[in-house]
Structure 1
Amino acid sequence: MNNNQNTNENNKPGKKLPNIPKKPQKGGSKFNIFWVYAAIIIAIIAAQFLFTTEGGKEVSYRTFETQMLLKGDVDKIISYKSDDIVKAEVYIKKDSLNKPQYKSYKSTSSFNNNTGPTVYFIAGSPDALDKLLADSQKDIPSSQRILAQPTTKNNPLASWFLTIIVPVLLLIAFWIFMMRRMGGGAGGGGQIFNIGKSKATLFDEKNDVKTTFKDVAGLEGAKEEIQEIVEFLKNPQKYTVLGGKIPKGALLVGSPGTGKTLLAKAVAGEAQVPFFSLSGSDFVEMFVGVGASRVRDLFKQAKDKSPCIIFIDEIDAIGRARGKNGVMGGNDERENTLNQLLVEMDGFGTNTHVIILAATNRADVLDKALLRAGRFDRQIYVDLPDVRERKEIFEVHLKPIKMAEGLDTEFLAKQTPGFSGADIANVCNEAALIAARKNKTAVDKQDFLDAVDRIVGGLEKKNKIVTPSEKRAIAIHEAGHATVSWMLEHAAPLIKVTIVPRGQSLGAAWYLPEERLIVRPHQMLDEMCATMGGRAAEKVIFDTISTGALSDLEKVNKQARAMITIYGLNEKLGNITYYDSSGQNEYNFNKPYSEETALIIDKEISALIESQYQRAINLLQDNKDKLIQLADILIEKEVLFKDDLENIFGKRPFGTEITEELAKGGTNNVPPVEA
């Protein structure tokens, strides 16, 4: 990045260019500390070979006894254990080494000095060696006898190498590793002296980004505001002539996978100005002051390149509200980094024509000072796409896929309610993989439906062992969901139901929920009643219940608690909510209501759930024969569609009409809605 910056600066008018040819020479003679480490290691290995001595030549004990020991030429004998045997090294007196018989045994060190043993022989044990020497010298006076001197074989240089050099080398290697990890490759290869440099990636005319606004489907409102910022940088006179000022920053807020980072990529591809891209975690380091230093370096580079755009992804990594990080007593490095960012965005020093884009899915935890006017002037909400936008997103992701003729993208959009852009991309990729697995030449509608089932419900497990009694219980449970939802006006219309295990579910029902902007109490109650239909069916048929309704109970409890504590839909508590959109209550140790109110909330939640459970029981008791008939067919076929339910219950007198194509579009692989 530094090289690109220098090049661009040199290309400015008035800049001299004589230093440009010198850059390759500077890079060619660049000093590298690793050459020093390599030289030290080579020197140590060379010294190991230079200072070692030869261990002599092996002879038999008989030769040693007759030619050396009894002739009085032996100076000393050093013995030590080696591989469960005793090795005896024989040192000949210096005066005797010149004798002709020792020329063949002559032993020298690396510097041609006769310092090592001349010969050696092998003995079975120390006692055996002592006995051999005693027997050989029985006629020699005891004061003149040569005895073996036991010792442990030890190379002083090798010991010094292992105890001193090796630990030092390990420490140096560990230090280099840690510096590279903490430096993170910033500015010059991640060396310690460049650790405070910004790690932002620069995109300009030399680093072309292919993504444009044409590749971003939907998100019309967000694209309009983002395009206005890009246009302001391209043609500022259009706005400044009227007295307008360029916005300092824009914050992209939305659920994961909705396209926040994709919008930023499109800005990088559309803008004709330098674009710096980095993540919020790039500022966080172990060293104190590194984050603030990187913020200063980033804005310094941005000022030199202005007009330009800075994009910080996942800004909540450093922008979390100060003093609310869940740790007692803490002013930490992250807060110092945030303080520096606040100063750079709107401090005494002005940043003309430097716009900051940021993205997060946790805007509720960001510091208020970061969100005030003058810093992030605009907050752009990137919501989940509706059915029209999902159709556009499908058309973008289907371009590289070889599709079958007649594939309807509107049908696919209706099959994926609540899916984000990333989910739709995953569906398209999974459908292509499924088609390839089946050796197809094109991806058809069935592959997309199988992909939706695979992503939402998990892998199908047809080989899962289920006993006949368990299979009937599962069929009764799923038939209860189907029956109750068919009887209720505001419950989501059923498309298909299955008892094929998939993922962690033993059975599932597939609904097409209506995409509502607001939800009324009777609609929520119908949905809760349909969810409790599975457990109610077990109670009606078997007069007992099982653990199979765990996910149903979890869903219903969340709905009931939301109705009472968030949406204020309970008559006893009245128009009151305990929801905190700022997210500050998560740091409080006390609940926002009293113990008496908590008792009332618990009672109202229980009463609400039990009333819908009893309502489901009453509906199923009135239609018990049809429930049993539906369960029997489900055991036989394992999967039922809308037509099968119409044959048993008749036409549904209310609710959203489901087309025949949508009703029969599924397969035996149904994603689980309730376990």
Structure 2
Amino acid sequence: MDQKQRNTPKNPMPKGNNYQLWILLSLILVVLGLAYFSNKSGATEPTNINEFKTMLKDGDVEKVVVLNDKWAEIYLSNEALKKNKYKKLQQERSPLSVVKREPNYRFMITSGTSFEEKIDELQKDFPENKKVQFLVEEKESFTTWFMSSGFLLVLLFGFWFLMRRMATGGAGGQIFNIGKSKAQMFDANHMKVTFKDVAGLDEAKEEVEEIVDFLKNSKKYTDLGGKIPKGVLLVGPPGTGKTLLAKAVAGEAGVPFFSMSGSDFVEMFVGVGAARVRDLFKQAKEKAPCIIFIDEIDAIGRSRGKGSMPGSNDERENTLNSLLVEMDGFGTDSGVIILAATNRPDVLDNALMRAGRFDRQISVDKPDINGREQIFKVHLNPIKVSKDVNAKELATQTPGFAGAELANVCNEAALIAARNDKSAVEMDDFMAAIDRVIGGLEKKNKIISKEEKRIVAYHEAGHAVTGWFLEHANPLVKVSIVPRGVAALGYAQYLPKEQYLNTTEEMMDEICMTLGGRAAEEIIFGRISTGALSDLERTTKMAYSMVSIYGMNEEIGHLSFYDPNRSEFSSRPYSEALAEKIDEEVKKLIEGAYQRTLELLREHGDALEKLAQQLLEKEVLYQSDLVKLIGERPFDKKTIYQEFTEEAEEKKAEVEATQAQEEVKPSEDKDSDTEQKPDTTEEV
């Protein structure tokens, strides 16, 4: 018998507890049906005392039964039933009848004794062989029995049914299952994601691949005295592939894999989270070796002692304490590896982060250009793309994108191509998808006045020109005045450098470029608009970071007041006098950058005018258009896209040269053969 047959139940039951509900409903219907038919006889007709007297005088009555001292049931003789006046009674018996013979008539009486006396009085002149048989019976009806005993049985069954539902997690809550773990267990047959599906995370893959290799070939490590890490914490921004990496571990490990979210531990009942932690590790130890994956562990792993009232019972802290004990406590057993993920490592408790609990902290950052290229190759496989689609070019156009955003770009491109009835997804579709992800949906029906459109054109042209003539500013990729969902009336897309450090000069040029739109409005129109709101927010944040965090101000000095754990309600770690000084320096820094931007735009006024007029005409301009309009950038520094283009051209030239050499070689060999033969003959 194979594994599939062993796992398949012989008598599969309906999913959940629906079959119990059907049993209860069927029982209720049966009870109601019996109660209805027990009070309804198929061939019994109602009558009264006067009609009974007539039947008695005519000799049609065979016997009379007094039932429960309340009802008089009349049975007619076979000869009487043949008469025409009883033709209504000549019908088939009810198939639900449980007695051999049903009474023909019945009527209610006040008392069985008085009724017997009336019958004797009516039959006093009858001969003995003509007198009707008189019987008295006591019989309990189904309705009476149900109201006395059956109703209690139905109540007991209903109570049992509800308890079963609650205990198995059905309707009515889990009152008896509240302390059980909600973790889902997966085996190798259920997880189809492997390390081949994870791209752009080479360093993180190497770390977790070692854990998987330890689970498969533990002897190789234990022979040298090595121990498997007890815990691995995946840290990174949202959408970078932490959960995907955990799925790949589950698909590759070949051991039981328990998956649970941090929020699943927390309930409003006291002690539930700690009980679920203990139950989870109990199940894991029974299945060891195995892996436990806790997604969003910051839901229960926050630093203790913050935000709780003095003397109060914090359920989250109790859950964390239980988790700490289970991970590395007195009675901890080996064989259980904890894999956790979070995008907020700064709020986690120090006891949770120490070695012995989470031995390794793997950083899962946003991918660089090479990582983005690998991710695009993975997501382009199931998509029918044209020959002009290049993963490397797409990687250069999407700096700062996480893996989830790149997957969204590929999906949007496929949808756009299908919407336009294309047979394959082209490069233009990917560019439109990138615009959609960055700026939102294009608003084609949005009505904008000519004056507003002109303001937007000069605003965006101001950004583009300022960035073009600043050495350390990010080079422009695309500028548009087409209204979009998030970017409002227009936006400019830049290509940031793949770097991790920024100098003071680079940050000042970035501030000047951001203020270029507001400066262009002031130069051209002599007034400013509300369109620079997002620009001002960004410059203010950058200026305060330079002064109070990075120590890039001479007056404030080399001081940093950065504290990720400090809440907005806590006091500032500096005096009011220093706070005023910081505000003055920030204002001075931004004002100096603004004046510098004004001078730059006045110096290149012709370029600003050309670019704005071209934007009003075409609405969208690319880097190549800027080169044609205002010339090359006056700096030798190449952009990533330019490096990619030149590299592609060099590779193409190398391939063409190699092909040319291969074509020339055979002819050269032939010539050398013909030249050698005469030389040989001359020597002879």
Q: How does 1:480-491 map to 2 (within 5 A)?
A: 480-491=462-473
Check if 1:320 corresponds to 2:263: no
Counterpart of 2:622 (choices 624, 641, 650) is 641
Match for 2:633 among 652, 657, 673? 652
Deviations 1:129-164 (A, max 9, x none): xxxxxxxxxxxxxxxxxxxxxxxxxxxxxxx9xxxx
SS in 1 for 2:182: coil
Given the alignment, which residue of 468, 476, 481 partners 2:450?
468
Map 1:355-370; keep pairs closer than 5 Å: 355-370=337-352
Q: Which amino acid aligns with 2:367?
A: P
Other-structure match for 2:257: 275
User: 2:20, 2:161 within 8 Å by CA — same for their partners in 1?
Assistant: no
Aligned counterpart for 1:591 among listed residues 554, 569, 572: 572
Partner residue of 1:551? 534
Q: Which amino acid aligns with 2:549?
A: I
Aligned residue for 1:531?
Answer: 514
Compare relative contact order (CA 8 Å, sep 6+) and give the higher one, 1 or 2: 1
- In the other structure, the counterpart of 1:125 is none
Larger Rg: 2
Distance 2:591 2:277 in 1: 56
**Alignment equivalent of 2:543, drawn from 557, 560, 563:** 560
C-alpha distance after superposition, 1:552-611 (max 9, x if no partner): 111111111111121111111111111124x2x127621122211211111111111111
- In the superposition, relative to structure 1, how do residues 318 and 176 fare at CA in structure 2: closer, same or farther (>3 Å)? farther
Shift of 1:50: 8.2
Q: 1:310: how far off?
A: 1.1
| Aligned equivalent of 1:148 | none
- Partners of 2:615 and 2:621 within 8 A in 1: yes
RMSD over aligned Cα, in angstroms? 4.2
1:310-339 Cα deviation digits (max 9, x unpaired): 111111121122222466764332222211
Residue by residue, what CA displacement relative to the aligned partner does 1:26-51 show, whole Å, maximum 9, x if unpaired?
999x9986478547854886699689
**618-627 or 470-479, which deviates more:** 618-627
AA of the residue aligned to 2:225 = G
Counterpart position of 2:395: 413
C-alpha distance after superposition, 1:169-205 (max 9, x if no partner): 9x9999889958xx7669xx97543332222222224
Q: Is the 8 A contact 2:277 2:319 kept in 1?
A: yes
For residue 499 of structure 1, the aligned residue among 481, 486, 495 is 481
2:279 alignment counterpart: 297
Q: What residue in structure 2 maps to residue 62 of structure 1?
A: none
2:219 matched to which residue of 1?
A: 237
Match of 1:632 in 2: 613
1:296-322 CA distance string (max 9 Å, x none): 221112111111111111111211222
Change (3 A) 1:27 1:34: closer
Measure, in 2, the Cα distance between the counterparts of 1:255 and 1:301. Answer: 31
The residue number in structure 2 matching 1:579 is 562
Can you list the C-alpha shifts for 1:279-310, whole angstroms capped at 9, x where unaligned?
11222223332222222221112111111111
The letter of the residue matching 1:654 is F
584, 587, 591: which is aligned to 1:603?
584
Query: 5 Å matches for 1:659-670?
Result: none
The one-character-per-residue Cα deviations of 1:323-377 (angstroms, maximum 9, x if unpaired) are 2246676433222221111111111112211111111111111111111111111
Residues 1:264 and 2:226 are matched in the alignment:
no
Q: Does 1:341 align with 2:317?
A: no
- Measured in 1, the distance between the counterparts of 2:202 and 2:193 equals 16
C-alpha distance in 2, partners of 1:24/1:177?
20
Checking the alignment, whether the CA contact within 8 Å between 1:493 and 1:655 is kept in structure 2 is no
TM-score (norm 1): 0.72
| 5+ long unaligned stretches in structure 2 | 41-70, 72-85, 87-102, 109-146, 646-684
Cα distance in 2 between the residues matched to 1:558 and 1:178: 55
For the structure 1 residues 660 and 259, does the alpha-carbon distance in structure 2 shift closer, same or farther, using more than 3 Å as the test?
Answer: closer
> In the alignment, which of 600, 607, 621 is matched to residue 602 of structure 2?
621
Matched residue count = 547
The range that moved more, 508-517 or 390-399, is 508-517
Aligned residues of 1:490 and 1:655 also touching (Cα < 8 A): no
Q: Map 1:111-126 onto structure 2 (within 5 A).
A: none
Confirm or deny that 1:393 pairs with 2:392.
Answer: no
User: Matched residues in 2 for 1:408 and 1:485: separation?
Assistant: 27
The 1-side partners of 2:163 and 2:226 are apart by: 51
Deviates more, 1:645-654 or 1:245-254: 645-654
Distance 1:543 1:52, change over 3 A: farther
Kept after mapping to 1: 8 A contact 2:465/2:601: yes
The SS at the match of 1:277 is: strand
More deviation in 426-435 or 640-649? 640-649
Alignment partner, residue 87 of structure 1: none
Q: Is the 8 A contact 2:234 2:341 kept in 1?
A: yes
Q: Check conservation: 2:169, 2:177, Cα contact below 8 A.
A: no
SS at match of 2:489: coil
What SS class does the counterpart of residue 243 from structure 1 fall into? coil
Q: Secondary structure at the match of 1:193?
A: coil
2:648 maps to which residue?
none
Moved more, 636-645 or 273-282: 636-645
In structure 1, stretches of 5+ residues that fail to align are: 9-19, 54-93, 95-102, 104-110, 116-159, 664-675
- Cα distance in 1 for partners of 2:390, 2:379 equals 14
Does the Cα contact within 8 Å between 1:326 and 1:587 map onto a contact in 2? Answer: no
CA contact (8 A) 1:212 1:265 kept: yes
Seq. identity, %? 60
Q: What residue in structure 2 maps to residue 513 of structure 1?
A: 496
CA distance in 2, matches of 1:546, 1:648: 27
Shift of 1:630: 2.1
SS at match of 2:264: helix
Relative to structure 1, the CA distance from residue 660 to residue 575 in structure 2 (aligned partners, 3 Å threshold; closer, same or farther) is closer
1:641 partner letter: Y
Over 3 Å counting, the alpha-carbon distance change for 1:287 and 1:625 in structure 2 is same
Query: For residues 273 and 19 of structure 2, what CA distance do their matches in structure 1 show?
Result: 27
1:403 aligns with 2:385: yes
| Residue among 201, 211, 225 paired with 2:184 | 201
Counterpart AA for 2:440: G
What's the CA shift for 1:476? 1.1
